[in-house]
Homo-oligomer: A and B are copies of this chain.
Amino acid sequence: MTTDLPLLSNPRSERVRSVRSLGRRAVRERQRKFVVEGPQAVRELLQYAAPAALDLYLTHPAAARHTDIVALAEDLASGGDGGPGPGPGRGDGGLRVRLCTDEVLAAMTDTPHPQGMIAVATPTDVPLAEALAAVSRAGSANADKSGSTGATASHPFVVVLTNVRDPGNAGTVLRAADAFGSAAVLVSDASVDVYNPKVVRSTVGSLFHLPVSVGTPVPELLAACRDAGLRLFAADGSGETSLPDVDLSVPHAWVMGNEAWGLEPEVRDLCDEVVSIPIVRAESLNLAMAATVCLHASASAARS
In the complex, what's the smallest C-beta–C-beta distance from A295 to chain B, in angstroms?
Answer: 10
Q: Which residues of B contact A152 (CB under 8 A)?
A: 280
Query: Are B281 and A179 touching (Cβ within 8 A)?
Result: yes
Asked whether A280 and B299 contact (CB < 8 A) given A176-B289, A285-B175, A285-B179, the answer is yes
- Is A160 positioned at the interface, with any CB of B under 8 Å from its CB? no
Of the candidates B206, B244, B286, B293, the one whose C-beta lies within 8 Å of that of A284 is B206
Residue of A149, A150, A206, A283 contacting most chain B CB atoms (<10 Å): A283
Residue of A175, A209, A279, A288 contacting most chain B CB atoms (<10 Å): A279
Interface residues of A in 155-204 (CB under 8 A from B): 172, 175-176, 178-181, 204
Interface residues of A in 252-304 (CB under 8 A from B): 277-281, 283-286, 288-289, 292-293, 296, 299-300, 303
Q: Which residues of B contact A299 (CB under 8 A)?
A: 278-280
Query: Are B286 and A151 touching (Cβ within 8 A)?
Result: no
* Bound-complex Cα distance A181 to B180 (A): 24
Of the candidates B172, B280, B293, the one whose C-beta lies within 8 Å of that of A181 is B280
* Bound-complex Cα distance A283 to B204 (A): 9
* Bound-complex Cα distance A150 to B192 (A): 36
Query: Are A172 and B209 touching (Cβ within 8 A)?
Result: no
Asked whether A286 and B180 contact (CB < 8 A) given A280-B151, A292-B293, A296-B293, the answer is no
* Bound-complex Cα distance A299 to B284 (A): 14
Query: Are B244 and A280 touching (Cβ within 8 A)?
Result: no
Sorted nearest first, the 8 A-B pairs with minimum C-beta distance are: A179-B284, A181-B280, A150-B280, A179-B279, A289-B292, A293-B296, A292-B292, A178-B284
Q: Which residues of A pack against B, CB within 8 Å?
A: 149-152, 172, 175-176, 178-181, 204, 206, 209, 244, 277-281, 283-286, 288-289, 292-293, 296, 299-300, 303
